[in-house]
Amino acid sequence: CINVDMDAPMQAFLKAMLPQQHTECCVGGARSPETFARNIDETIISTIETVQTEVWENEAIAPSKRNRELVTRLHGLGIFKYKDAVLMVANHL
């Protein structure tokens, strides 16, 4: 049994009951990291491009090791579990 003030506005009630969470992707109008793709191929390509940008912008990674780091990070994300992902990554590189 929960005692609820029926005169309180529903918005105020929900605001009190739900936690207020502000993440980095939502603060300041930053772009959301979510990808809304039509198929799995678009998702894989989007992930490859995102990780590739991160790797190529990281000055600590030697240019000769960038592709290896890219594949390692993609493997960590589980990309290679998807059908034809290996071929798509190879073609993208």
- pTM of structure: 0.59
Percent of the chain clearing pLDDT 90 (strictly above):
20
Q: What is the DSSP string of 41-86?
A: HHHHHHHHHHHHHHHHH-TTS-GGGHHHHHHHHHHHHTGGGSTTHH
The amino acid present at 77, given as its one-letter code, is L
Residue 86 has pLDDT above 80, yes or no: yes
Segment 58-64 long-range contacts (CB within 8 Å, at least 24 positions apart)? none
| In the chain, domain spans | 37-93
Q: How many CB atoms lie within 10 A of CB 62?
A: 9
Task: Place 33 in a pLDDT band, splitting at 50, 70 and 90.
Answer: low
Residue 80: partners with Cβ closer than 8 Å, 6 or more residues away: 74, 86, 89
The average pLDDT across 50-67 equals: 90
pLDDT at residue 36, as a whole number: 67
Mean of the per-residue pLDDT values of the chain: 78
Query: 71 pLDDT exceeds 70?
Result: yes
Which of left, alpha, beta for 8 (phi over 0: left; psi -120 to 50: alpha)? beta
